Structure 1
Amino acid sequence: MSGWIDEHHRGVRYGLIGEVLVEETSPFQRITVIRSERYGRGLLLDGCWMTAERQERHYHESLVHPALCGATSVARVLVIGGGDGGTARECLRHQGVEHLDLVEIDGRVVELSREYLPSIGGSAWTDPRLRLTVGDGIAWAAAAADNSYDVVLVDGSDPAGPAEGLFNRSFFEHCRRILRPGGIFATQSESPEAFQEVHLAMVKLLKDVFDHADPLYGWVPMYPSGWWSWTFAAMDQPRYRQPNTNRAAAIADGCHIWSPRWQRGAFEAIPAFIARELS
């Protein structure tokens, strides 16, 4: 039976008309899979929208391609979170990726995504370059060897529950430590409108931990406010701003949102009130 399915955030509802297909509580969170006419099947965690079949490219392409088109090498990639498989799928479109570690704390998110949202992970789940670990990504980063990854991507939910530890100095410092020279770190960094305080705190902290860090602004219409951000960081130079021409050409035709032109505009689309806070 169809009805409104809403995320409630600070007195505002963000919803779709649809039906709940599955709802269960894992050891970590409440997981809901829905079906809607507008955006297809979708996923909520603890009542917050995570992804949907006809929304996911807005998010995954924005997180992945500035990093993988900018890093010196993309041979070894670490994705923390991302249990729906979309970030891994976009990474593995880059032929230079030789090994990708996907570390997701909640195995049920992976299982339900593979069953109900198979198009989001697509061929990533059977790609021999992917190694899935169901475990704590914070502990994984802390235990990883120095200079062990070319790209580190954090595809986590909002800073509460199992994702809370993905938003602090110790974790970001480990991510910096495990990056190889020429590497890039990237994370979703919330909405500059709906989560303004968290967004500013994350960007400021990343600017402190890394030599360079810059937010990129886009949109995920189903998320609170629809206005979203991803922040990229690197040592020595902001190499995430300059896409490798050959890598960009190899993946551009398969992208719905990302292109070098879109990326340039998205980095420059910083609103004045955020720029003042970061100056």
Structure 2
Amino acid sequence: MQVERLEEPAGKAVPETAQRAVPRHVAVIMDGNGRWAAARRLPRLAGHRAGAQAVRRCIQAAIQNKVGWLTLYAFSSENWRRPAEEVTDLTGLLRHYLRHELAELHREGVRLRVIGERERFDRDMCREFERAERITAGNTRLNLMVALSYGGRSDILRATVAIAEAVRDGRLDPAQLDEQQFGRFLYTDGIPDPDLMVRTSGEFRLSNFLLWQAAYAELVFLDVLWPDFGPTHFAEALDTYARRERRFGARPG
């Protein structure tokens, strides 16, 4: 697995995409909202609001580059440990986004799905999730997964418990269990594994995101805070991906 850190040259044009290999599924760890706000002496909520604008740019870039699947790490299971005021701000911003951006996502042909422990949100928020998924269910231009209250370890643990229960109840023969079967018990059942994982803010961590699914993902770390993320950064990450030789453990030819 190769790792590359990128910085965006000022004023660089968006690269042409016609001849390059485009990943089927891009996953993004959106990091840096707090530092962006602190650098401007603004409250953290201002950083999260600016980050929501970057989400719009990222979705548009995915559509323009004909990426079929996009997963955004919006709220981790560990984020519940943040100060109560910040958690309230984050969930309120999420509710506002779902209510005010859904029509535009639908017009753009985006299918929205939520992965993670949605039951940890209040009933009103869960209804918003269900409404957004129902309205966009028939869209095919872009499959957008938003990871909320998601953690890779808890995803694997949850799947393991479900498998143990299936074996106990006689619904699953453990001798027949393989990686494909295991994947059906994860939140991402039916979703292809990410080909490319991008993290912003210059940090070099997966932060408990899609640990099982990212086993063979190409990793790109960008030296840009999430609120400053734009289509050129997305294109640079795709160019880096296109230059990689993906061998999936096989010896080079």
Give the TM-score normalised by structure 2: 0.36
Q: Which has the higher helix share?
A: 2
Q: Which has the higher strand share?
A: 1
Greater radius of gyration (CA): 2
Larger RCO, structure (CA 8 Å, separation 6 or more): 2
